[in-house]
Chain A
Amino acid sequence: AQSVTQLGSHVSVSEGALVLLRCNYSSSVPPYLFWYVQYPNQGLQLLLKYTSAATLVKGINGFEAEFKKSETSFHLTKPSAHMRDAAEYFCAVRSNAGGTSYGKLTFGQGTILTVHP
């Protein structure tokens, strides 16, 4: 079964600092990976996705993520944090296995990003 693990349930940065949110995946086949963001009291919004076309993926709001097969990682970064980036971020993997798991989206436990002025 495919899964993702997010390292660090809380990350705190200063405004203008680098944002790094960690995600590692477990998959026996090439995975399809996603990052979502959830602002307080809202639903989830897709930030970016990796579908094997390119290892460095750019998303919305200045975020990007790099797929590293050798490290089984898909970390999310942003060069300079803004106050408006404060939210919870979720890494997810979409199953490409056959059978009843086909198409399922499985989430990590989430990382809450706090941005200090």
Chain B
Amino acid sequence: NAGVTQTPKFQVLKTGQSMTLQCAQDMNHEYMSWYRQDPGMGLRLIHYSVGAGITDQGEVPNGYNVSRSTTEDFPLRLLSAAPSQTSVYFCASSGDGYIYGYTFGSGTRLTVV
């Protein structure tokens, strides 16, 4: 049981480059989210999804794009990387219902130079 898998674990980008952070879960969870973690700011929600084909913006969506074509996958696209996007990114998933917590991936550490 792999849980939530994020790739890559580390990435260095040049300003202006684009890339996709991958996230896959094998628990048949409906809810999936992307967060970024910066020192002193906790985890801030970028985008989330309540099911295949349904996504919505979170607290800090600018500069990021998502789509959810399958239940399992929820990729995060950086359109034109900026140094302000240097962060640790976490993907998480959850079953339906408030009793469930979210299960987190191990994170992607992104540096934009």
Q: Please list the residues of chain A having a beta carbon within 8 angstroms of any beta carbon in chain B.
A: 9, 32, 34, 36, 42-46, 49, 51, 90, 94, 96, 100, 102-110
Q: Please list the residues of chain B having a beta carbon within 8 angstroms of any beta carbon in chain A.
A: 31, 33, 35, 40-45, 48, 50, 56, 58, 90, 92, 94, 96, 98-99, 101-107
Q: Answer whether A43 and B98 are a contact pair too, CB < 8 Å, given A100-B56, A103-B50, A104-B58.
A: no
* CB–CB B41/A34 < 8 A: no
* Nearest CB of chain A from residue B51's CB, rounded to whole Å: 10
Q: Which residue of chain A is the closest to B109 with respect to CB atoms?
A: A41
Report chain B residues within 8 Å CB of A45: 104
* CB–CB A105/B98 < 8 A: no
Report chain B residues within 8 Å CB of A109: 40-42
Residue in B43, B94, B103, B105 whose CB lies within 8 Å of A107: B43
Report chain B residues within 8 Å CB of A32: 98-99
* Nearest CB of chain A from residue B91's CB, rounded to whole Å: 9
A9, B99: Cα distance in complex, Å? 27
Report chain A residues within 8 Å CB of B98: 32, 51, 94, 96
Sample (6) of A-B pairs whose CB atoms are under 8 Å apart:
A34-B101, A46-B102, A103-B48, A104-B33, A107-B35, A109-B40
Q: Answer whether A42 and B45 are a contact pair too, CB < 8 Å, given A49-B101, A104-B58.
A: no
A9, B40: Cα distance in complex, Å? 8
Residue in A43, A90, A102, A108 whose CB lies within 8 Å of B50: A102
* CB–CB A43/B106 < 8 A: yes
Report chain A residues within 8 Å CB of B96: 103
A44, B45: Cα distance in complex, Å? 14
* CB–CB A104/B48 < 8 A: yes
Report chain A residues within 8 Å CB of B58: 104
Q: Answer whether A49 and B56 are a contact pair too, CB < 8 Å, given A106-B45, A108-B42.
A: no
